Each structure stands twice: as structure tokens, then as C-alpha cells.
Chain A
Amino acid sequence: MTVLSRRRFLTAMGSLAGTAALGPLSGCGGSASNKKGSSTTSDGAPISPYGARGSTVKVSTWPVYVDKALLPVLEAKAGLTLDYIEDYNDNNEYFAKVQPQLSNDQSIDRDIVVPTYWMASRWISLGWAQKLPMAQIPNAVHLRPDLVKPSWDPTGEYTLPWANVGTVIGYNRKLVGGDLTSINDLLDPKLKGRITMLTELRDTLGLMLLASGLNPATFTVDDANVAFDVIDKAKRDGQIRAFTGNDYLQDLSAGNVAACFAYSGDIFQLAKENPDIVLLFPEEGAILETDVMLVPKTSTNASGAAAFMDFFYDPVNAAKVTATTGYISPVAGMADELRKLGGEAAILADSPAVNPSPAQLAKYATFRPLSEDEEAALDGRFSKIVGA
């Protein structure tokens, strides 16, 4: 007991020292705690080292993004306490919330945050992310090959994807009175006031670029203005009921909204509850995004964060998460585990929405990176449309 607590104390001191070394400018500050971590796992044990045991791991993530039954399993296995907080509702909002703290090197009381890839890239460039103690995440080897060293984290040292999210269309067959096939179907006057679009720029602009036959991966500012004009007109005509964050789910499930821009897993989950709800991969295409886990620079429990990540990169657990949330898993070999689970989960293994083949995955468009000025210009126009 005394030995254990002393060791825990020492490790805590170690990780504290690691964070102290993280000046606002030193991009490689994470390596201190990194080395410390790897030395404690010299035996290469699959479970994270002592540093995590007995500690509390605080995770900020999107709502309904996990199989909650797994959380106590993780706590028992890794011997830590999990504070799983579903307070990540909007990338910009979360950024605005933590920015003053992180800029002043004040703790944000979180060990893992799950921003969308483009926001993660901003965190990394601002020096707000720690390098992950990869040695403590042996399961990271299961990362899907196409996600290794991704564009937003070219060295692959700061982030591990949580899930791919398809920005698609969800609709209520009964309220629509039939089936939809395309993004432009949402602009049909018979759906006036019964559709919603998303407040995230890349989701709504991306889909509307596709609807106009333009490519979100290569578009120009002129292209964007074409799409914005369509959105603006639809809004002024009263076609669009609201621009929403996650809250579109509320109106879709209450039957106030007939069709909307939506996230694939959300619609997958809602369809399980309501047979009228349909997930549509529009004929013009859809947008693919990646939400990634990173450790904020002020976290003193990178080891605990590593234990969390390692747990969910175990293909068995990844399969369970996929079966509940319906998002595309970044974990290779997850599909085999889905089949082993049997029943409904096994069917999912063959669903292109949940487990797309590389060819199917390629059908999704990815929004191109934006410079700060471009982002300011696009955001300015978009927030004017949304905020009026």
C-alpha cells in the first residue's frame, strides 16, 4: 500500500514535471512525460502503467458517442476513475470556452478532448496538444492504415481518431411522404419550413457545394459564394427552419422536422428507435469528417488518457462502440469483432454506412484545409446567414 502510493506520488510528480517543461512555445514538451511513461511500461504490458492507476481521467466529448456500458469496464480494467463529460457540443464554442485558459497556461481540467480534425489541427498549431505517450497505447497499432499520419497531424504524434463521421441526410419517410434521393430534394417547396441545416461551416457548405456540383476538396471562394447564395435564398424563403448543432435530433425525433443535414451515427441510432427515420447517402455525395482524441497541454494525466485510448483501440471494444453509435470506426479489425458479436451487430459489419469498404469510403468528399484568412471570410459570410 505504502509502496504503491509512493510510486503513484512519484509518477504524479513526474508527469507534473513533464507538464511544467511544456512552455507555450516548446512544441516538443510532451516528450518528457512521454519518456517517463514508456519507462514504466518497459515490460510492454497491454494495460497502462501505474501512473494511471488510481487517478481520474477527465474526458470532454460529444454526446451519445460511446457505449456507456463500457465505461465501468474501462475503470475496472485500468484501475482509474473516469469523468466522462459530454460537453463538447460545437467546435467553435468549445474553442472559445477554453481559449483564454489555454492561452494563459491555465488548466482546463480535461485530459482528453475530442475536436473535429480541422479544429485539432488548430490546437496542434497553437501548441495546445501534448504528444501522446504512444508506448502506453499499444493498441494504436490497430489504427486504420488510411488514418496513419493524417493531414491534420502529419507526424501522427498528437491525435488518435475517435470516429469518422459522415455528414449525410436524415429524413422522416412519413413526414416527407415518400423517399428522398438528393441534397437538392431538401429544397423542394413542399418541405418548406420543415428542413434544418447545420451550424458547422464545413458540414453545410460542404453538402451545398456538392449539391451545386462543386468539389469541397478543391473549391474556390467563388464556388463557396455560389453555394452560400443558394443557402441564403433557401433561408429567406423560409425553406430552412433552423440552423442547428446537435439539436436537430430533437426536432427530427419529435416530428417537427421532416429532413435535415445530419451526422451518420445519429441517424443510425434514431432509425433504431423510429422505423420512419431514414439515413440517406445523397446521390451528389456526402462529407466525411474525423473526430480525434487529443491530450490538452495542461493535462497532468497523459497516462490516464493513454489508458482510455488504448482501451477503445482494442478491436473488441471498438466493435461495441460501433454497434451502439453507428459511426465509422478508425480501428482496423473491428468488423471481425462485430461479426463475432452476432445478431444486429453482425449485420452492421456489412453496412456501408457503418463499415464502408475503401471504395465506399472514397465516395465521401473531404473538405479542404482553409487558411486563417479564408476561414475568416467564409465564416463571416456563413455566420451572417445563420445569425439573422
Chain B
Amino acid sequence: MVATTGDAKLSSRAGARAAPWALLSPGALWLILFFIVPIASLARMSLSSKKSRFDFRASFTWQWSNFSDALRAYGGHFVRSFAYAGLATVFALLVGFPLAYVIAFRGGRWKSVLLGLVALPFFTSFLLRTLAWKTLLADDGVLLSAVKGVGLRGPLQAIGIMQDGRVLASPTAVVGGLTYNFLPFMIMPIYVALERIDHRLMDAANDLYANNIAAFRRIIMPLALPGVFAGSLLTFIPASGDFVNDQFLGDANRKMIGTVVQERFIRNLDYPSAAALSFILMTLITVAVLVYARVLGTEDLTG
């Protein structure tokens, strides 16, 4: 590969035109073979039907009813998943922004340590962390005993955070888990965006507005926006398709779409409907991303 770069350099213009493709081709080919082709295969599967329940082969029959059936049966699951993912994104922003802000502007020499701390959860297993939440939130666990001890059960119950005296097996636990698991993905891009802001700009803003809130709104927010955008995508997309938090922390009445896809695919051998559901999920996410980009006015997705 390297040699090709050099050859291109030395030889003709045609060679120079081939050089980037020579560098690209192995990686691009991998992505085409194992991302694009599978998605195409999924599309085909979503329009196929199976002859027998126990047969895994599906034949392509333009089975559009897979989509209408899937939407009819699981439309509510899509709404719920996007609501959960949206809430988790908002909470992650609320929790993550101050931390990113403090690291970027007040981190000083501790900056790299603090950043490392944010990344540290990735060194423990995703599943294990989610299970740990189960321990923390257990019906008779530390956290709930404390909450009940100080008499917070009533108020928390009233605002719907607790149900029947518990948090586990409720939307609270699932949204909390989703927020938690994707929080670092929110913090990192915001930090990167904030880091680029010139400190003198802050000082000038403070002089001009003599008020941190105004300075924040006029200066920091606009500059942090690309980070917020990237962080929101990195939180929302995986959260909307997740099934681990749902399965460990959720209840029987409020399943997320990820759980349905996984069950259809891994247990029920219903590949066509799993494929149709996956496709709808992918499409809805793409639409959501485009709308969000329009609202935030961010044109450049790739950065």
C-alpha cells in the first residue's frame, strides 16, 4: 500500500489518481462487503416469507405485509423506544454538560485525569455495569432503603419515579440505565467542542455581559452546539435500539423495540419480521437525525 503512494508520487497522473483508491480499497471493501451487502440482505429478508416455521430459509416474495404487520403489532414499541431514548439523551445532556464544562474550563492540570475518569467505565463490561445498577436499585437494596428511610417514597411515587415502592422493573430504571450507559458518549464530544473555545473569548464575554448566564447563552452555547449534536446522536442512536437495559431493568408491559427484534430473531426464528422491524428502526432514526440536524442548524454531520 505504502509503495503505491510512492509510485503514485513518482509516476503519472493516472497513478496519482489511483493512489487514494489503492489505500482505500481494503477498508472500503470491508465496509461494502460487511455493512452494505448485509443491509441489502436485510432489506431482501424484510420482504421475504418463510414456507415453514421450522425452516430458516426465506424466499423473496415482495412481502410488503411484513412491514404493515410489524408496524401494527409493534408501533407502540417504536414510540416507547424513541421516548426512552429521547429522555435518556436529555438527561445525559443535563448531567453530562456541567461535567464537560468543568473539565474544559476548570480542569487545569487535572484535565487529562478527569477525562480519563469519564472514559474509565468503558474498561468494565457494559453488561456488568447494568447488572450493578440492578444491585443498587434492588427492591430491598441500599438506595431504596435510604429513600424509604428519609420518607421520600411518597413524593417519588407521586411523580412516577417509583412504582409500587420499587424502581426496578419500571421505565425509571430503564431510562436511568440508558442515560448511564451512554453518558460518556455525551460528555466526550461536548468536551472536545468546549475545549476549542478560546478563553479570551470567555473573558471578553464576561466583561461585556457581566453575567455568566448571558455569556453562556451568547458565546458558549453556539460554540458547544456541534458537540451537543454529536453527543446526542451517540446517545440517542444506540439507546433507541438497545435491549440490554430493557431486559435487565425493565418490566413485562413496556418492552423496547430492541427486545422485540432480538426475540423475533434469536428465539422465534422470525427473520422476515425481525428484518422489517430493523429496517423501520433504521429509517426512523435516519429521519430523526435529519430533523434534529435541521433544528440545530448543523449541516456538517461528519465533522
Contacts and interface: CB of A to CB of B under 8 A. Distances in A.
Interface string A319-338: 00000000000000000000
Interface stretch (A53-61, A300-308, A376-384): A376-384
B252 A254 contact: no
Nearest to A239: B252
Contacts of A235: 252-253
A388 B56 contact: no
B253 A236 contact: yes
A96 interface: yes
Contact of A383 (B55, B57, B139, B268): B268
Contacts of B166: 193, 256
B132 to A, nearest CB: 12
A387 B255 contact: yes
A102 B169 CA distance: 38
B53 A193 contact: no
Contacts of B259: 387
Interface residues of A, number: 33
Interface string B233-263: 0000000000000000001110100011001
Given A235-B252, A241-B251, A387-B259, A103 B56 contact: yes
B127 interface: no
B168 interface: yes
A241 B254 CA distance: 11
A256 B139 contact: yes
B164 A193 contact: yes
B260 to A, nearest CB: 6
Contact of B251 (A242, A255, A375): A242
A260 interface: no
Contact of B169 (A92, A96, A193, A386): A193
Given A122-B54, A241-B169, A372-B54, A388 B255 contact: yes
A388 B253 contact: yes
A97 B269 CA distance: 9
Contact of A96 (B251, B253, B267): B267
A352 interface: no
Contacts of B54: 99, 122, 126, 372
* Dominant secondary structure at the B interface: loop
B153 interface: no
A44 B168 CA distance: 58
Given A241-B169, A384-B73, A254 B164 contact: no
A255 B164 contact: no
B138 A242 contact: no
B7 interface: no
A241 B166 CA distance: 11
B298 interface: no
Contacts of A372: 52-54
B135 interface: yes
Contacts of A99: 54, 56, 269
B268 A92 contact: yes
A122 B163 CA distance: 43
A193 B268 CA distance: 26
B266 interface: yes
A384 B76 CA distance: 13
Nearest to B135: A254
Given A372-B54, A387-B259, A387-B260, A255 B140 contact: yes
A238 interface: yes
A100 interface: yes
B163 A254 contact: no
A243 B263 CA distance: 12
28 contacts: A96-B56, A96-B268, A99-B56, A100-B56, A103-B56, A103-B57, A193-B164, A193-B166, A193-B169, A193-B251, A194-B139, A235-B252, A236-B253, A238-B163, A238-B164, A241-B169, A241-B252, A243-B252, A254-B134, A255-B140, A256-B168, A256-B169, A372-B52, A379-B268, A383-B263, A383-B268, A384-B73, A387-B263
Interface of B: 52-57, 73, 76-77, 134-135, 138-140, 163-164, 166, 168-169, 251-253, 255, 259-260, 263-269
Given A95-B269, A240-B252, A242-B252, 11 more contacts: A96-B267, A99-B54, A238-B164, A238-B251, A242-B169, A254-B134, A254-B135, A254-B138, A387-B255, A388-B76, A388-B253
Q: Which 5 A-B pairs have the closest CB atoms?
A: A92-B267, A256-B139, A193-B164, A255-B140, A241-B169
